[in-house]
Chains A and B, each alone.
Chain A
Amino acid sequence: MKTIFALAGVVIKELYRRKDFYVLFILTILICVIMASVNIYHDNEVIRYIKALCLLLIWISSLVIAITTTARQIPAEREQRTLLPLLAKPLTRTQLIFGKFLGCWLACGLVLICFYTFFGVLAATREHTWPLLNYFQAASLHWFTLGVVIAMTLLGSLVFAAPSSNSTICFVVVGTILCVGRYLDTVALKMTEPLRSIVYAIYYAIPHLEWAFGMRNLIVHDWPLIGWSFVGLDALYLAGYTIIFLLAACLVFRRKAVN
């Protein structure tokens, strides 16, 4: 376990020593602060739109950080040849995959803390409320969703040669799941066989990240908390997909020659 934490530590250091996170964070803050400072039509309800846009920006920024950080991990190790001294140590490839995953996931957790703290402060300046538990529910499921995305990107980084192609494919897949994933069963109903079965199979096979994505509404519309058991079940569901992707990554990596 110490080995996995050592690997994760290097990934976290990389995140805070590179400029990507700061650029995205400052950009998000600027856009949100400008939006929040303008009182459009003197409508007090406009804060909901601002909150919705702000959360959407946070989701996009966190996905960008998660995918780009993860996509370069193993290709960079290969390109810089640091993978060689690393694997020449008593370290298994499975530990390497889990270390990289943990590093990216914890780093994304820190990013989310920054983003949600900023969001909370921004919302409190206009609404004077601190629905901390709502934030916790939304942020924790957001973090688990990023876990699936990170594991999927890590698998992609072993399959696709270039980090850019892997990032693009992951963005398209995640974007498609978030936007149309929930409608696939409805679409399937209107289709004829065998397409119907194929679309149904896709519907049941893909990780439904949109459930956690929908948690934004909890904050935007000040809805009451959802049951903790539902949050726990969704977290378990997402953790299940994360493990599946990680195991697939381990299998692919074990077969890969390193030279």
Chain B
Amino acid sequence: MMSAILKTDKLRVEFKSREFRQPAKVALGGLDLEVNAGEVFGFLGPNGAGKTTTMNVLLGFIPPTRGTAYLFGIDVRQPIARQRIGYLPELTYYYKFLTAEELLRFYAKIFGLPRAEADQRIDQLLKLVELESARKRPIKSYSKGMQQRVGLAQALINNPDLLILDEPTSGLDPLGRMKVREIIQRLKNEGKTVFFSSHELGEVETVCDRVAIIHQGELKVVGRVNTIMESYPTLEKAFLNIIGYQPQLAP
């Protein structure tokens, strides 16, 4: 039997309106989701669907209005729930005045890794994300792709069992995307669980075992990629149909 290491139970998030007497905006309306150990799980939805809100709740950034979320069976409101996870946010500009090595050492200290273990881990990760030659250079001199890869390295510093990636290939060129995809593939081979959101449906199709599609805060479908694609030629067609997109044809 598969064990769920990420679980949401009727998760509801409402944002109060700043306008007087306006109803609260429902970002998530009772989301039930389970991600099993060792799988790569794609979390899909159009912009504003509630993907980032779900991640924000999972990471303890915002409290849920109702419902609960668990990581490794621990309520996400407890900081210890984040001990075994790695997180890569979308478009982050890491401390410009630090080098990649210093950045990773800083995050290693946050996790309380002993010096020798941190050194070993930093070497491994810089090799994995192909930043060995730039390890002593300040991050301000890095390209966007390099910054994203250093972000991926920081997410892996604690050798996490669960990786949460928010649009990891956003804004990257095809080469950068391919490198990130290769890293995710390698992590999958190592048995890590990866939960990631993306708009690149081609890459989701390539690397994901299962996907969930949400729209307007509601879970529309969850299942294996090939099962969802049974009636459609591509995942993109399936996605557009599931969210109810009607193409506007010219007269």
A234 within 8 A of B: no
Contact, CB under 8 Å: B61 / A82: no
Count chain B residues whose beta carbon lies closer than 8 angstroms to a beta carbon of A: 35
> Can you list 17 A-B contacts with CB-CB less than 8 angstroms, sorted by A residue number?
A3-B112, A6-B106, A9-B109, A10-B106, A13-B98, A18-B97, A81-B90, A81-B93, A85-B88, A86-B110, A88-B60, A88-B82, A88-B87, A89-B158, A258-B61, A258-B62, A259-B56
The distance in angstroms between the C-alpha atoms of A9 and B102, with both chains bound, is 10
Contact, CB under 8 Å: B91 / A3: no
The distance in angstroms between the C-alpha atoms of A10 and B95, with both chains bound, is 9
The distance in angstroms between the C-alpha atoms of A258 and B55, with both chains bound, is 12
Q: Chain A residues near B241: list those with CB within 8 A.
A: none
B178 within 8 A of A: no
B52 within 8 A of A: yes
A159 within 8 A of B: no
Range class of the A interface residue count: 20 to 34
Q: Chain A residues near B232: list those with CB within 8 A.
A: none
Give B215-248 interface residues, CB cut-off 8 Å to A.
Answer: none
A38 within 8 A of B: no
Contact, CB under 8 Å: B80 / A82: no
A17 within 8 A of B: yes
Interface string of B54-65 (1 = CB under 8 A from A): 001001111000
A92 within 8 A of B: yes
Q: Chain B residues near A258: list those with CB within 8 A.
A: 56, 61-62
Specify the chain A residue showing the minimal Cβ separation from B109.
A6
Contact, CB under 8 Å: A10 / B107: no
Of A14, A82, A91, most B-chain CB atoms within 10 Å: A82
The distance in angstroms between the C-alpha atoms of A68 and B141, with both chains bound, is 25
The distance in angstroms between the C-alpha atoms of A7 and B112, with both chains bound, is 12
Nearest-neighbour CB distance to chain A for B197, whole angstroms, equals 14
Q: Chain A residues near B82: list those with CB within 8 A.
A: 88-90
- Known A2-B112, A18-B97, A90-B111: A81·B80 in contact at CB below 8 Å: no
